A and B are shown apart, each in its own frame.
Chain A
Amino acid sequence: NAGVTQTPKFQVLKTGQSMTLQCAQDMNHNSMYWYRQDPGMGLRLIYYSASEGTTDKGEVPNGYNVSRLNKREFSLRLESAAPSQTSVYFCASSEARQIYGYTFGSGTRLTVV
């Protein structure tokens, strides 16, 4: 099915460990985003990429890095995981965002112990 694919779906990390969350879209969208979702907090933007080769910080970028590998793929890296990074992470993509909105992946549930 066309859309946004995130891997893995679940992950448990120990404090200080690193990992990369993968995201790929097959809709030929230019823009891609990483959000985190926490109970009672809604979705908060971590990083975004307006086009291939560009990345910018969002509202909550501390502790994260991103790579826009190509037009399809946008990865999120936690270099040294902390319990405060326990969250559900969503990747999204968009084209003419004001018309078609964002398409979200199904999320990665990350627990840092």
Chain B
Amino acid sequence: RKEVEQDPGPFNVPEGATVAFNCTYSNSASQSFFWYRQDCRKEPKLLMSVYSSGNEDGRFTAQLNRASQYISLLIRDSKLSDSATYLCVVTKNSGNTPLVFGKGTRLSVIA
């Protein structure tokens, strides 16, 4: 089983839609979880951390289910500028580092 698995997509959604991405991870000892965003030919950038209680940042909501080893990202009211690849990220072991990246889910928001 891969360390971090994501549906590669692409997800093609109209502006204003709500879209959800899921991710599963294999190491039950992982302690920290993140979503990163990567634009074409750019470096990955931190979108948000994922906390056990779930957390929200504007239109973005992240959820963690430790029992199922599952992470999700919900984007509400999609904007054209949300088009990117979203990377699910977990720590490799029980420490804070290093981080293991999923291969990403590609999102295209269409006008």
* Chain A bound to chain B: no
User: B-contacting residues of A (Cβ < 8 Å)?
Assistant: none
